[in-house]
Structure 1
Amino acid sequence: MKLDSEKAEFELEKAAKSNPGLWIDHSRYVAMACKNIALHCNNLSDDMAYTLGLLHDIGRYAGVSSEKHLIDGYRYCMEREWEKAAQICISHAFMIQDIDTSIGEFDVSEEDYQFMKQFINSAVYDNYDRLVQLCDALALPTGFCILEKRFVDVTIRYGLHSATIDRWKKILEIKSLFEKKIGCSIYDLLPGVVENSFR
């Protein structure tokens, strides 16, 4: 089953009926940020970037969960043979490739935990993984925001973790990587980012 933005839109709409919530609008803004940045990167497809952004949280279709949505999304995509989207369903939460840097709760079986641990350790990240990791930190359900606002938003909801600062540093490192590629601030490509960040 070929994956493109039209198919991803259909799948997200279907998931929204299964489990409505703020995650839908968040996913849309992540996708738009991915597309806007990819348009300025020679080696990335803007349609694929948008598609992967739309689907990064698709595992939430199964209901309210913490880290379970990662493996639910992985399985959802693998059943459809969307291997890259499946990887990003897990990799978007692990900008540092170490399961111990998770800030969520592992509401999964021991077997699923061990699978995720091995998967994270062995996954080969490319710029699509890194782009979704970055854009996940640039998007609230209300629109684009500066990274620091999203950092605080997530920390208020999940609490401080021993890896919190290292995760922030990694996202800032990825931000710098993409800004070198595009030759400008990522914020220049996110309409309304100032207004949404400071409302």
Structure 2
Amino acid sequence: MLPDREKALFLLNEAYERNPGPWKDHSIVVAKCAYVISKQCDDMDEEKAYIIGLLHDIGRREGITNLSHVIDGYHYLMALGYDEAARICITHSFAIKDINTYIGNKDVSDVDLKEICDLIDGYEYDDYDTLIQLCDSIALPDKPVKIEMRMNDVKQRYGYYPSNKWNKHIEIKHYFENKSGLDIDFLEI
């Protein structure tokens, strides 16, 4: 289940009031990118893509965290009954189903770490999971950028970017370029 766009925007704004930061604008850019790309794909719902893009980082409502934001967002949206959006809180950070590809601190308990791993392993990724992975990897707070630019930005901030994750994001980009007919490097939102 998903909230409608109005409710998703309300949740995003409420979360931003709890923890202001550039993550809100980043989430809006992710949503707009997801909308534009999915609209060009015959088998995708652009409204769903927009909503899950808005909510993918909703766990940031709990404060400045790293891995914790994925499980915090998952628990928050599950408690509201929005299982489809909750799923994206988990999958958006794992283009490769391997907890070791997470970039940043693993600031979660052992119980939460196991839950994240179990969820990742249990999901059969679909085009919505991979679309948000792609959009997350091209979205700055003010606009989409070339995927290499965004991944280099992350690499510079954290000191590394696993090569297998980098390659997977490039693969996803090519998949959606073929599927949508768009040049993702020059996406206009």
- TM above 0.5: yes
TM-score by length of 2: 0.96
Instruction: Give the equivalent residue in structure 2 for 1:99.
Output: 99
Superposed CA deviations along residues 161-184 of structure 1, whole A, max 9, x for unmatched, are 5xx111111011111111111123
Alpha-carbon distance in structure 2 between the residues aligned to 1:39 and 1:123:
24
- 2:57–2:73 contact (8 Å) kept in structure 1: yes
Alpha-carbon distance in structure 2 between the residues aligned to 1:88 and 1:26:
15
Q: What is the 5 A alignment of 1:1-199?
A: 3-161=3-161, 164-191=162-189
Q: Which runs of 5+ in 2 are unaligned?
A: none
Partner amino acid, structure 2, of 1:176: H
Superposed CA deviations along residues 143-170 of structure 1, whole A, max 9, x for unmatched, are 1111011011111111115xx1111110
Query: Cα offset for 1:188?
Result: 4.5
Q: Which runs of 5+ in 1 are unaligned?
A: 192-199
TM-score by length of 1: 0.91
SS of equivalent residue, structure 1 residue 8: helix
- 2:2–2:85 contact (8 Å) kept in structure 1: no
Partner amino acid, structure 2, of 1:42: D
Root mean square deviation, CA, Å: 1.3
Alpha-carbon distance in structure 1 between the residues aligned to 2:184 and 2:153:
20
Q: Percent identity of the aligned residues?
A: 45
